[in-house]
Homo-oligomer: A and B are copies of this chain.
Amino acid sequence: MKRIYLDYAATTPVDPRVAKAMEPFWNENFGNAGGLYEEGRRAKEALTKSRETITKLIGAKPDEIIFTSGGTESDNLAVFGVANAALQVVARAVVSPSSKSDFGTPKKSDFFPGDLVVGQPSGVKPHIIITKFEHHAVLTPCEQLAKEDFDVTFLDVGENGIVDPEDVRKALRPETVLVSIMYANNEIGTIQPIAEVGKVVKDFRMAKEQILKDLASPTGVSTRNFSAEKYPCLSKFDTETFGKQYPYFHTDACQAAGYLDLNVNNLGVDLMTVNASKIYGPKGVGFLYKRSGVKIKPQIIGGGQEMRMRSGTENIPLIVGLAKAFELAQAEKDSETARLVPLRDYFISEVMKRIPKVVLNGHTTKRLPNNINVSILDIEGEALVLYLDSKGISFSTGSACTSESLDPSHVILALGKPYEFAHSSMRFTLGRSTTKTDIDYVMGELPKTVEWLRIVSPISVDMNASGMSHPEAFAGENLRVKAKSKSYKPDVLLK
């Protein structure tokens, strides 16, 4: 049976052109890039070329690209890297022998100029801003940091799934060290206003810098007042307490890399995550763009590869594959966008037309060209996945990255929707092989499957009801009966 794969946001097949580019590096040019001899030099050359390919596409310099094992590692490196570099300064502050007291204010001379000095001395924790619907590779590290030495603001994203740059501005504090907002959401595909947030972050840094200049000059106070009016939190800004280089701005661009412009200067980002497995490249490789001068603490250390930022023998075949996949993705992004947007909108309108009680999750147009995410109420997401799978259709419920968990999608919940909407959210993501014929086939199977599943479902949600997120919201006088009946077993569908 021909299969219709509609989970391109989970992972993509490797483009044959990418596989071909990797081919010579398995057992022909297999050298360790650290070797001085020919095999090593050839490996190093491939590494350098791959780095250059990427830097050109994003407007960066070669030493600003750190190759990693993928999106999760890059995201972790951005978050933990910035956080731990900031903490190192904190530690210096706390243990400083010249401190006034055990926890008194350390002297300016104890620190690098402009360094962050927070923690016990002032009782202020370094601060991070992210959205509520970041990928788990950013969210989980931030949740962990929030339990340790950091304050984290989890921004709302509104019912459309788009963060408001004004909310970022309001959340900024003198001690904010990192703002991390994904470029496009992996579940609902909504595109975030990264360039606008980039401007907000830059403006805030400039305000801090201006105040520092004013403090250094005996006369200049007007600008300080101006900046403090715009950013009230800066009115008590203290050079000895907070570093002017912060906050850094990071974006996870994994889902965006196939469709959007990734020029770091246009976006105004200091750190950017990209991986290969979402853009028809191999799994297990990605990069973190890190603007020169941005301080991170390396997370994987040893031989000192990647400018000491990420140790381990350089994975030349996969790095070559990443560069090739990224090059192709960026070259074809406009034509793919033009081809997929009508298919996406056709899919959405057909689903809405053919199936009752369906809600589109995320903004209607400010979303990736390949993303359809709908809550099909009253049905069990996993059952629909398994049933359509038997008809040759692959898609996912919530995010495939966390499907081992039965927790409802944190992304749908972040839109302010009740648990029932999260539990019944389905993600169909189109890709290079998707055609209108594929979608028509899906439309032939999906509505009747939903109808059948609803017959056997014990749940009937009132789409406009409030308080839907507790058992009373389920319209089941015979809920328990149905839930116990044999027909309500997803796995029966596979037989």
Contacts and interface: CB of A to CB of B under 8 A. Distances in A.
A386 B36 contact: yes
Contacts of A285: 284
Interface residues of A, number: 77
B135 A72 contact: no
B10 A30 contact: no
Given A15-B27, A69-B312, A73-B312, A402 B34 contact: yes
A5 interface: yes
18 contacts: A11-B32, A15-B27, A16-B27, A34-B402, A34-B403, A36-B396, A37-B385, A70-B312, A70-B315, A71-B312, A72-B300, A72-B301, A72-B302, A72-B313, A135-B302, A282-B317, A283-B318, A303-B401
A62 interface: no
Given A36-B385, A283-B313, 12 more contacts: A3-B39, A7-B39, A15-B27, A31-B394, A37-B389, A39-B394, A68-B69, A75-B302, A76-B302, A141-B301, A284-B317, A299-B300
Contact of A400 (B5, B14, B32, B394): B32
Given A26-B14, A34-B403, A311 B3 contact: no
A3 to B, nearest CB: 7
Interface in A21-42: 26-28, 30-32, 34-40
A138 to B, nearest CB: 8
Interface string A373-410: 00000000010011011000111110111111100000
B12 A30 contact: yes
A37 B282 contact: no
A302 B140 contact: yes
Contacts of A141: 301-302
Contacts of A302: 72, 75-76, 135-141, 401
B311 A140 contact: yes
A137 B16 contact: no
A342 interface: no
A19 interface: yes
Contacts of A38: 3, 389, 394
A131 interface: no
Work out how many copies of this chain go into the complex: 2
A37 B394 CA distance: 6
A163 interface: no
Contacts of A12: 30
Given A10-B34, A70-B312, A76-B301, A282 B26 contact: yes
A190 interface: no
A13 interface: yes
Contacts of A403: 34-36
A366 to B, nearest CB: 25
A419 to B, nearest CB: 20
Nearest to A297: B144
A255 to B, nearest CB: 13
Contact of A312 (B72, B138, B315): B72
A82 interface: no
Top 3 A-B residue pairs of the complex, sorted by shortest distance between their CB atoms: A69-B69, A137-B302, A284-B315
Contact of A137 (B13, B35, B312): B312
Residue from A15, A28, A71, A397 whose CB has the most chain B CB atoms within 10 Å: A71
Contact of A32 (B7, B26, B135): B7
A370 interface: no
A271 interface: no
Contacts of A303: 72, 136-137, 399, 401-402
Nearest to A141: B301
